[in-house]
Amino acid sequence: MSRLQPTETGLVPGEAVALAETLNAAMPKTARFRMPSGHPMEWFAFVFLAVLIISSVFVEFIPGLVRASFPYGDFSQGPEWSLNGLFGTDALGRSILSRVLYGARTTLAIVSVATLISLVIGMILGMLAGFYRGPVERIVDLYANSMASLPPILVILALISVTGNSVFTMMLALGLLDIGTYARIAKGGVIAQNDRDYVLAARAMGASDMRLLLREILPNLVPALTAIVPPLMAGLIITEGSLSFLGYGIPAPAPSWGGMIASSTDLLSRFPLLIFGPIVAIVLTVYSLNTVGDCLARRMNHRGREL
């Protein structure tokens, strides 16, 4: 459809110009495909996490990759241009790359379940504390402050000493660490929304407390909680790796990044490349999660200013 020209309308010049501008503004503009903007390192973080997650989930189906427990080469063989020998082999001749990918599956599964536990419990406690205040708020604040004052390693070691070392214990122990953080964020968001017009209007219409929390307040808490999840997951990966390095993490023979580093310490002076694979995996994963968290937080803040 061609644009209208003022001389084609048959009106006086002033009315013709006004009518043409109005109709041209109402016409749909030509759609243009625009790639989402972002820093190259943000793209790298998103792509790396996607590749890591897909590779760890479908690691058994990667063509040519040996199992983590199968020997591949000689004792501490150096890196070579092959899939299994890219990072070399460990002290037992097993492929380090294979063990890194299998360890990523275990680490990501533990951290994901622990994050889900922290997020759900912390969100529920924080919403109740911010909505009802009073004794509920004081109890939640007491728990959050108590957990924040204790070193996470000591808390997890205490739980492991009581319940024993297992994957389930790791999930539960790591899940308890960040409940207070999620509860604080949820409580602050609820307090900020309690006096908003849409909440007051719903309350005036007779909405129950459960409906106010779930239908009016919870959707507005999702952006803030989403932005804080990746950095907290990065912290859990470091904690899990530290525990595995100390021998209190994922029990052998299951591969883990921290356990791979710990098992190579005796040979590190002669074979320094043994720890290259797990260290690179930890560094890039933690960096990518923090970068994704910063990107999400920046986009949420920009969206908030537009609203």
Is residue 129 scored above 90 in pLDDT?
A: yes
- The confidence score (pLDDT) of residue 148 equals 84
- The confidence score (pLDDT) of residue 38 equals 62
Is residue 154 scored above 70 in pLDDT?
A: yes
Q: Checking phi first, is residue 88 left (phi over 0); if not, alpha (psi -120 to 50) or beta?
A: left
Residue with tokens 């907290």: 232
- For the chain, the structural domain boundaries read 108-306
The mean pLDDT value for 294-303 works out to 76
The mean pLDDT value for 268-276 works out to 79
CA distance 146 to 128: 19
Is residue 173 scored above 70 in pLDDT?
A: yes
Is residue 188 scored above 60 in pLDDT?
A: yes
Query: What's domain 108-306's architecture?
Result: Orthogonal Bundle (1.10)
The mean pLDDT value for 57-79 works out to 79
Give the pLDDT band of residue 209 (cuts 50, 70, 90). confident
Is residue 251 scored above 50 in pLDDT?
A: yes
Question: Which residues lie across from 71 on neighbouring strands?
Answer: 94
- The confidence score (pLDDT) of residue 32 equals 41
* Residue, of 55 and 161, whose pLDDT is higher: 55
Give the pLDDT band of residue 16 (cuts 50, 70, 90). very low
Give the rounded percent of residues in the chain with a pLDDT score beyond 90. 28
- The DSSP-derived string for 111-168 is HHHHHHHHHHHHHHHHHHHHHH-HHHHHHHHHHHHHHHHS-HHHHHHHHHHHH-S-HH
* Residue, of 290 and 167, whose pLDDT is higher: 290
- The confidence score (pLDDT) of residue 11 equals 44
- The confidence score (pLDDT) of residue 40 equals 85
CB 300 within 8 A of CB 227: yes
| Tens of pLDDT, residues 31-65 | 343 444 567 888 999 999 999 999 999 988 888 88
* Residue, of 247 and 135, whose pLDDT is higher: 135
Lowest mean pLDDT among 27-31, 56-60, 115-119, 217-221: 27-31
